[in-house]
């Protein structure tokens, strides 16, 4: 029976959590920025032969942008929580195991 080891890169897990938090922060204003862009497009096309439907377009897709922003924040929180759990589990497991001839050994 072969023994396998499992290593966890706690720093990478934490780094991924931080990167996802930065990405979520950048997306926080996405719904407002989208609404502003839709209003600008509406103003630009508000002359003959005008294009209608901008309000419905803005409302429909602004809602979607809010969903993107919400899910990005939720994902970032989950990744950060997961990286903390990984770090805690890693530290707890390190106390339980001692390497003997390169193989983990339960104390």
Domain count within the chain:
1
Mean pLDDT of all residues in 8-37: 87
- 49 lies in a domain? yes
- pLDDT tens per residue across span 30-83: 999 999 998 898 888 777 777 778 888 888 898 999 999 999 999 999 988 888
Identify the burial level of 26 via C-beta atoms within 10 angstroms of its C-beta, where 0-12 means exposed, 13-18 middle and 19 or more buried. exposed
Sign, Cα dihedral of 34, 35, 41, 44? negative
Instruction: Say if residues 74 and 65 touch (Cβ distance below 8 Å).
Output: no
- 104 lies in a domain? no
- In the predicted structure, residue 94 carries a pLDDT above the cut 80: no
* Domain encompassing residue 80: 10-91
Phi-psi region of 102 (alpha: psi -120 to 50; beta: other; left: phi over 0): left
The pLDDT assigned to 33 comes to: 93
The pLDDT assigned to 80 comes to: 87
pTM exceeds cut of 0.75: no
- In the predicted structure, residue 2 carries a pLDDT above the cut 60: no
């Amino acid at each position: 029976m072969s023994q396998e080891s499992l290593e966890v890169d706690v720093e990478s897990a934490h780094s991924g959590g931080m990167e996802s938090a930065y990405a979520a922060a950048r997306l926080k204003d996405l719904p407002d920025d989208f609404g502003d862009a839709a209003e600008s497009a509406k103003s630009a096309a508000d002359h003959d032969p005008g294009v209608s439907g901008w309000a419905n377009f803005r409302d429909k897709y602004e809602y979607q942008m809010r969903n993107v922003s919400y899910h990005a924040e939720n994902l970032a929180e989950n990744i950060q929580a997961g990286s903390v759990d990984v770090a805690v589990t890693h530290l707890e497991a390190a106390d339980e195991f001692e390497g003997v001839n390169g193989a983990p050994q339960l104390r």
